[in-house]
Amino acid sequence: MINVLPLVTQYTTLIPQNEHLPPISLTLKDHTRLNILTPTDIDELNNQHFVIKDNVFIDIIDSKTLITDCLPYFEKDAISGKMGQREEKWQNNNIRGDKIWWINDSTEIPKSLSSLVQMIKKLQIELNESTNLNSQFTQSHLTCYPGNNTGYIRHLDATTKSHSNRKLTCLFYLNQDWKPGDGGELMIYGDNKNIKVRPISNRLLIFQSGCVEHQVLSTLVPRYAFTLWMC
Ligand code: OGA
Ligand code: NI
Protein backbone atom coordinates (compact mmCIF):
# COMPACT_ATOMS: atom_id res chain seq x y z
CA MET A 1 0.00 0.00 0.00
CA ILE A 2 1.20 3.52 -0.72
CA ASN A 3 2.29 5.34 2.39
CA VAL A 4 0.25 8.54 2.60
CA LEU A 5 1.13 9.72 6.12
CA PRO A 6 2.24 13.37 6.06
CA LEU A 7 5.81 14.18 6.98
CA VAL A 8 5.59 15.25 10.61
CA THR A 9 3.06 12.79 11.98
CA GLN A 10 5.18 9.80 11.14
CA TYR A 11 8.53 11.00 12.48
CA THR A 12 9.02 14.04 14.64
CA THR A 13 12.73 14.18 15.22
CA LEU A 14 15.96 12.52 14.30
CA ILE A 15 17.84 13.67 17.37
CA PRO A 16 18.80 11.04 19.93
CA GLN A 17 19.38 12.37 23.42
CA ASN A 18 22.89 13.19 24.56
CA GLU A 19 24.30 13.45 21.05
CA HIS A 20 24.49 17.23 20.87
CA LEU A 21 27.94 18.73 20.54
CA PRO A 22 28.90 21.57 22.85
CA PRO A 23 28.62 25.02 21.27
CA ILE A 24 31.82 26.42 19.82
CA SER A 25 32.89 29.67 21.41
CA LEU A 26 34.45 31.90 18.78
CA THR A 27 37.08 34.36 19.95
CA LEU A 28 37.56 37.38 17.74
CA LYS A 29 41.32 37.63 17.42
CA ASP A 30 41.63 40.09 14.54
CA HIS A 31 38.55 42.05 13.52
CA THR A 32 40.42 43.67 10.61
CA ARG A 33 40.20 40.30 8.81
CA LEU A 34 36.41 40.42 8.82
CA ASN A 35 34.81 41.37 5.53
CA ILE A 36 31.43 39.72 4.96
CA LEU A 37 30.82 39.34 8.68
CA THR A 38 30.94 41.94 11.44
CA PRO A 39 31.97 41.60 15.11
CA THR A 40 28.23 41.63 15.96
CA ASP A 41 27.72 38.59 13.69
CA ILE A 42 30.43 36.74 15.62
CA ASP A 43 28.64 37.68 18.86
CA GLU A 44 25.39 36.28 17.46
CA LEU A 45 27.10 33.03 16.45
CA ASN A 46 28.31 32.74 20.04
CA ASN A 47 25.14 33.81 21.80
CA GLN A 48 22.25 32.46 19.70
CA HIS A 49 24.42 30.05 17.65
CA PHE A 50 23.18 31.36 14.30
CA VAL A 51 23.30 34.50 12.22
CA ILE A 52 21.30 35.62 9.18
CA LYS A 53 22.78 37.97 6.57
CA ASP A 54 20.53 39.33 3.84
CA ASN A 55 21.31 40.69 0.37
CA VAL A 56 24.66 38.96 0.42
CA PHE A 57 26.72 38.69 -2.82
CA ILE A 58 23.94 40.62 -4.52
CA ASP A 59 26.24 41.99 -7.26
CA ILE A 60 27.83 38.60 -7.85
CA ILE A 61 25.14 35.95 -7.57
CA ASP A 62 21.88 35.95 -9.48
CA SER A 63 19.90 33.01 -8.11
CA LYS A 64 17.82 32.45 -11.25
CA THR A 65 20.86 32.32 -13.50
CA LEU A 66 22.63 30.01 -11.08
CA ILE A 67 19.71 27.57 -10.94
CA THR A 68 19.25 27.62 -14.73
CA ASP A 69 22.97 26.97 -15.21
CA CYS A 70 23.02 24.14 -12.68
CA LEU A 71 19.84 22.29 -13.67
CA PRO A 72 21.40 20.06 -16.37
CA TYR A 73 24.24 19.03 -14.02
CA PHE A 74 21.80 18.62 -11.18
CA GLU A 75 19.47 16.39 -13.16
CA LYS A 76 22.38 14.21 -14.19
CA ASP A 77 24.14 13.86 -10.84
CA ALA A 78 21.70 14.59 -8.01
CA ILE A 79 20.82 11.80 -5.59
CA SER A 80 18.18 11.49 -2.89
CA GLY A 81 19.23 12.92 0.46
CA LYS A 82 20.37 10.22 2.88
CA MET A 83 20.88 9.90 6.60
CA GLY A 84 23.89 8.40 8.34
CA GLN A 85 27.43 7.95 7.14
CA ARG A 86 29.27 5.61 4.79
CA GLU A 87 27.97 2.03 4.79
CA GLU A 88 25.22 2.96 7.22
CA LYS A 89 23.57 5.42 4.82
CA TRP A 90 19.82 5.13 4.45
CA GLN A 91 17.07 7.05 2.74
CA ASN A 92 13.45 7.79 3.65
CA ASN A 93 11.30 10.41 1.92
CA ASN A 94 9.28 10.93 5.07
CA ILE A 95 12.40 12.11 6.86
CA ARG A 96 13.92 14.17 4.08
CA GLY A 97 12.64 14.69 0.57
CA ASP A 98 15.47 16.57 -1.09
CA LYS A 99 17.62 15.80 -4.08
CA ILE A 100 21.24 16.70 -3.54
CA TRP A 101 24.20 17.30 -5.82
CA TRP A 102 27.46 16.87 -3.95
CA ILE A 103 30.19 19.22 -5.07
CA ASN A 104 33.89 18.86 -4.35
CA ASP A 105 37.00 20.47 -5.77
CA SER A 106 37.05 18.14 -8.76
CA THR A 107 33.35 18.47 -9.67
CA GLU A 108 32.73 20.26 -12.93
CA ILE A 109 30.43 23.17 -12.10
CA PRO A 110 29.11 26.19 -14.03
CA LYS A 111 30.76 29.57 -13.52
CA SER A 112 27.83 31.04 -11.60
CA LEU A 113 28.04 28.29 -8.98
CA SER A 114 31.80 28.50 -8.90
CA SER A 115 31.51 32.22 -7.98
CA LEU A 116 29.27 31.30 -5.07
CA VAL A 117 31.59 28.52 -3.88
CA GLN A 118 34.50 30.97 -4.02
CA MET A 119 32.60 33.56 -1.98
CA ILE A 120 31.74 31.07 0.74
CA LYS A 121 35.28 29.70 0.80
CA LYS A 122 36.39 33.31 1.33
CA LEU A 123 34.08 33.34 4.29
CA GLN A 124 35.92 30.29 5.65
CA ILE A 125 39.27 32.07 5.23
CA GLU A 126 37.85 35.18 6.86
CA LEU A 127 36.64 33.20 9.87
CA ASN A 128 39.91 31.27 10.13
CA GLU A 129 41.95 34.48 10.04
CA SER A 130 39.78 36.50 12.38
CA THR A 131 38.74 33.86 14.93
CA ASN A 132 39.80 30.56 16.49
CA LEU A 133 37.42 28.55 14.22
CA ASN A 134 40.28 26.63 12.56
CA SER A 135 38.21 25.06 9.78
CA GLN A 136 40.44 22.74 7.77
CA PHE A 137 38.08 21.54 5.05
CA THR A 138 34.58 21.87 3.68
CA GLN A 139 31.75 19.71 2.38
CA SER A 140 29.15 21.18 0.07
CA HIS A 141 26.09 20.44 -1.98
CA LEU A 142 23.29 22.03 -3.91
CA THR A 143 19.84 20.85 -2.83
CA CYS A 144 16.39 20.88 -4.28
CA TYR A 145 13.24 20.01 -2.39
CA PRO A 146 10.95 19.43 -5.38
CA GLY A 147 7.74 20.73 -3.73
CA ASN A 148 4.85 18.38 -3.13
CA ASN A 149 5.15 18.78 0.67
CA THR A 150 8.76 17.68 0.85
CA GLY A 151 10.88 18.76 3.84
CA TYR A 152 13.42 17.51 6.34
CA ILE A 153 12.37 16.71 9.89
CA ARG A 154 13.99 18.21 12.97
CA HIS A 155 17.66 17.25 13.15
CA LEU A 156 21.22 18.29 13.86
CA ASP A 157 23.87 18.43 11.10
CA ALA A 158 26.56 17.13 13.46
CA THR A 159 26.26 14.90 16.50
CA THR A 160 28.74 13.04 18.67
CA LYS A 161 28.02 9.97 16.47
CA SER A 162 27.60 11.45 12.99
CA HIS A 163 29.51 14.13 11.06
CA SER A 164 31.06 15.25 14.34
CA ASN A 165 33.72 17.21 12.43
CA ARG A 166 31.19 19.72 11.10
CA LYS A 167 31.55 23.05 12.90
CA LEU A 168 29.43 25.55 10.99
CA THR A 169 26.62 25.07 8.48
CA CYS A 170 26.46 27.85 5.87
CA LEU A 171 23.30 28.00 3.78
CA PHE A 172 22.77 30.30 0.83
CA TYR A 173 19.20 30.39 -0.41
CA LEU A 174 18.36 30.63 -4.09
CA ASN A 175 14.60 31.23 -4.37
CA GLN A 176 13.94 34.52 -6.08
CA ASP A 177 10.18 34.12 -6.39
CA TRP A 178 9.55 32.73 -2.90
CA LYS A 179 6.35 34.08 -1.34
CA PRO A 180 4.47 33.47 1.92
CA GLY A 181 2.43 30.30 1.59
CA ASP A 182 5.03 28.51 -0.53
CA GLY A 183 6.43 26.83 2.61
CA GLY A 184 9.97 25.52 2.91
CA GLU A 185 10.98 27.86 5.71
CA LEU A 186 13.80 26.64 7.90
CA MET A 187 12.59 26.31 11.47
CA ILE A 188 15.37 26.93 13.96
CA TYR A 189 14.65 25.59 17.42
CA GLY A 190 16.27 28.05 19.81
CA ASP A 191 16.69 27.85 23.56
CA ASN A 192 14.03 30.48 24.17
CA LYS A 193 12.10 30.74 20.94
CA ASN A 194 11.77 29.11 17.55
CA ILE A 195 12.46 31.10 14.41
CA LYS A 196 11.18 30.53 10.89
CA VAL A 197 13.72 31.54 8.27
CA ARG A 198 12.35 32.24 4.78
CA PRO A 199 14.52 30.63 2.09
CA ILE A 200 14.77 33.81 0.02
CA SER A 201 17.42 34.67 -2.54
CA ASN A 202 20.74 36.06 -1.42
CA ARG A 203 20.09 35.19 2.20
CA LEU A 204 23.06 33.64 4.00
CA LEU A 205 22.41 31.69 7.17
CA ILE A 206 25.25 30.40 9.32
CA PHE A 207 24.67 28.21 12.34
CA GLN A 208 26.58 25.92 14.65
CA SER A 209 26.17 22.42 13.18
CA GLY A 210 26.34 20.47 16.44
CA CYS A 211 23.89 22.36 18.61
CA VAL A 212 21.27 24.09 16.43
CA GLU A 213 18.25 21.85 15.93
CA HIS A 214 16.47 22.71 12.70
CA GLN A 215 13.82 21.47 10.29
CA VAL A 216 12.91 22.24 6.69
CA LEU A 217 9.16 22.80 6.76
CA SER A 218 7.13 21.23 3.96
CA THR A 219 7.47 23.10 0.72
CA LEU A 220 4.81 23.30 -1.96
CA VAL A 221 7.16 24.65 -4.62
CA PRO A 222 10.68 23.66 -5.68
CA ARG A 223 13.16 25.05 -3.15
CA TYR A 224 16.86 25.47 -3.87
CA ALA A 225 19.77 26.09 -1.51
CA PHE A 226 23.52 25.76 -1.49
CA THR A 227 25.00 24.30 1.69
CA LEU A 228 28.60 24.35 2.80
CA TRP A 229 29.83 22.86 6.03
CA MET A 230 33.01 24.20 7.56
CA CYS A 231 34.72 21.25 9.22
C1 OGA B 1 20.44 20.08 5.72
C2 OGA B 1 19.48 21.14 6.08
C3 OGA B 1 18.46 23.25 5.58
C4 OGA B 1 17.94 24.08 4.47
O5 OGA B 1 20.70 19.86 4.52
O6 OGA B 1 20.96 19.43 6.64
O7 OGA B 1 19.05 21.16 7.19
O8 OGA B 1 17.41 25.17 4.78
N9 OGA B 1 19.16 22.09 5.18
O10 OGA B 1 18.02 23.68 3.31
NI1 NI C 1 20.45 20.28 8.45
Q: Is the shortest distance between the CB of 213 and ligand 1 below 6 Å? A: no
Burial of 143-166, coded b for 16+ CB within 10 Å and e otherwise, reads bbbebeebbbbbbbbbbeebbeeb
Lowest mean pLDDT among 12-16, 56-60, 97-101, 160-164: 12-16
**Higher-scoring residue by pLDDT: 132, 81:** 132
Instruction: Supply the pLDDT for residue 192.
Output: 82
Q: Is the shortest distance between the CB of 186 and ligand 1 below 6 Å? A: yes
Q: Is the shortest distance between the CB of 145 and ligand 1 below 6 Å? A: no
Taking 60 as the threshold, does the pLDDT of residue 11 lie above it?
Answer: no
Mean per-residue pLDDT for 115-131?
98
Mean pLDDT of the chain: 91
* pLDDT band with cut points at 50, 70 and 90 for residue 96: confident
Ligand 1 atom with least separation from CA of 215: 7
Q: Is the shortest distance between the CB of 216 and ligand 1 below 6 Å? A: yes
- Please tell me the residue having the least CA distance from ligand 1 atom 10: 225
Ligand 1 atom with least separation from CA of 155: 7
Mean per-residue pLDDT for 169-185?
98
d(C-alpha 163, C-alpha 160), whole Å: 8
Q: Is the shortest distance between the CB of 214 and ligand 1 below 6 Å? A: yes
47 three-class SS? helix
* pLDDT band with cut points at 50, 70 and 90 for residue 4: very low
Taking 60 as the threshold, does the pLDDT of residue 86 lie above it?
Answer: no
Instruction: Supply the pLDDT for residue 50.
Output: 97
Which ligand sits nearest to residue 171's alpha carbon? Answer: 1
Give the Å distance between the CA of 13 and the centre of ligand 2.
12
Give the Å distance between the CA of 200 and the centre of ligand 2.
17
Give the Å distance between the CA of 55 and the centre of ligand 1.
19
**Residue 205: beta bridge partners?**
52, 171
Taking 90 as the threshold, does the pLDDT of residue 89 lie above it?
Answer: no
**Percent of the chain with pLDDT strictly greater than 70:** 89
Among candidates 78, 110, 98, which has minimal Cα distance to 171? 98
Give the Å distance between the CA of 216 and the centre of ligand 1.
6
The amino acid at 225 = A
> Which segments of the chain does DSSP mark as H helices, in order?
7-10, 39-47, 63-77, 111-130
DSSP state of 183: B
Each residue of 178-230: pLDDT tens digit? 999 999 999 999 888 899 999 999 999 999 999 999 999 999 999 999 999 99
Taking 70 as the threshold, does the pLDDT of residue 42 lie above it?
Answer: yes
